[in-house]
Amino acid sequence: SFPIAGVWVIRLNLLPYRFMLMHGAMLGGAVGLALGVSPLPTVMAVNIILVLLADILSNRGRLDAGLTTIFLMVASLGGAMALLYGAAVPAQDALGLLWGNLFAVSPMEMAATILFCLGLALFGKIYGLRIQAVIFDRDVAFTSGVNDSAVMRALLIVIGLTVAFAMRIIGALLLDALLLIPAIIASVGAPSLKALYRRAVLIGIAVGTGGFIVALLIDLPVGAAAALLGAAALAVVLVTHTFFQKEHT
């Protein structure tokens, strides 16, 4: 279900927020490691706070959204590095935030992840028309009676939580393998938003499962294997699409 959030990131051009949330995940993970608790709740809390701060600074404070996300991104990364150093967190644990560790996920964290994935799919189903209207055009959505600001805020919070769960499994640096790459591949030739969701989910399953199998076969971290597999699939799709476009022309 993670690629569903990836579709929103791509279609709404939320890449600056995605980078902010990735660094927020680093800060939340550092807080968890420093306190000696599971990083998942602290990452979730930090990302929600970052989304709300970005909303306050950009909308109510009338600051540029790009500059706001850069400020929060740099502040989060600096805070994470300072906290890891000050708390003398072991290097292996710190690297776990970057690369992830599927085998270190506890049963409780796995249960929470499954519940979140079901909630993510349900959220997309219930608010599908409103989300589709905002993706099409925020001004048109507003004039049609959709509270576009509330929908965007909710989407950013859900994306922030998705980053938190994905980081625990695949790491902050490689989470795009499950978040964005399936959505990008699925967007090539997708006839509708519903088809885009369906394709992105199926590709995400293929990338995640295939990455796990490759990791076992050639002794790689699961995150790295999934990222390499996803990147290879994206390269094939882009080259093939470009070739067929030239042939058609």
Write the Ramachandran bin of 30: left for phi over 0, alpha for psi from -120 to 50, otherwise beta: alpha
pLDDT at 166: 86
Report the alpha-carbon distance of residue 152 to residue 114 in Å, rounded: 24
Percent of the residues in the chain that have a pLDDT greater than 90, as a whole number = 37
Residue 248: pLDDT over 70: no
How large is the average pLDDT for residues 57-81?
Answer: 85
Position 61 scores a pLDDT of: 66
Residue 40: pLDDT band by 50, 70, 90 thresholds? confident
Answer whether 215's CB lies under 8 Å from 224's CB: yes
Predicted TM-score (pTM) of this structure: 0.88
When comparing pLDDT for 74 and 224, which is higher?
A: 74
- Nearest Cα to Cα of residue 97 among 169, 15, 41: 169
- What is residue 185's predicted lDDT score, i.e. its pLDDT? 92
H helix or E strand, kind and range, residue 6: helix 2-11
Lowest mean pLDDT among 67-71, 89-93, 160-164: 89-93
Taking the C-alpha atoms of residue 191 and residue 194, their distance in angstroms, rounded to an integer, is: 8
- Answer whether 25's CB lies under 8 Å from 172's CB: yes
- pLDDT of residue 239 exceeding 80, the answer is yes
Going from the C-alpha of 238 to that of each of 2, 202, 232, the distances in angstroms are 22, 18, 10
Mean pLDDT of the chain: 87
When pLDDT is averaged across residues 87-101 and rounded to a whole number, the result is 75
Instruction: Report which of residues 92 and 142 the model is more confident about.
Output: 142
Calpha distance 106→7 (Å, rounded): 28
Please report which confidence band the pLDDT of residue 130 belongs to, taking 50, 70 and 90 as the band edges: very high
DSSP character for 173? Answer: T
Find the mean pLDDT for residues 195-205. 93
